[in-house]
Amino acid sequence: MQFDGAVIKEQGVTFAIVIVKPYVLNNSSEAESTRSSFRGIFPGVPIILMAQGSGGRATYQGRPDIVNFLTHVSPSRIPWKTYTVN
């Protein structure tokens, strides 16, 4: 499996962001299931889900303080990486 994401340490908090399809954010059980599936890859850190809407605008879901922080950060400034997991 391949996915795009990032691990960020900001203001003493380390967290992971994973890019998902917009429908994942629109269904709370799908979002939680997706977040759970990434806990083995990013153990012990909050996992934020991110989807891009039709206009390219990023939407985040996860811990409210981190989501609030990310709404003020351009996605182009996030150090995205493609992860490959077997």
Joined tokens for residue 21? 């399809």
pLDDT one-digit tens code per residue, 1-18? 899 999 999 989 999 999
pLDDT one-digit tens code per residue, 22-77? 999 999 999 999 999 999 999 999 999 999 887 778 999 999 999 999 999 999 99
CB atoms within 10 A of CB 51: 19
- Go through the domains of the chain in sequence order and give each one's CATH number: 2-84 (3.40.1350)
CB atoms within 10 A of CB 20: 22
**pTM recorded for the entire structure:** 0.92
Place of tokens 């409210």: 64
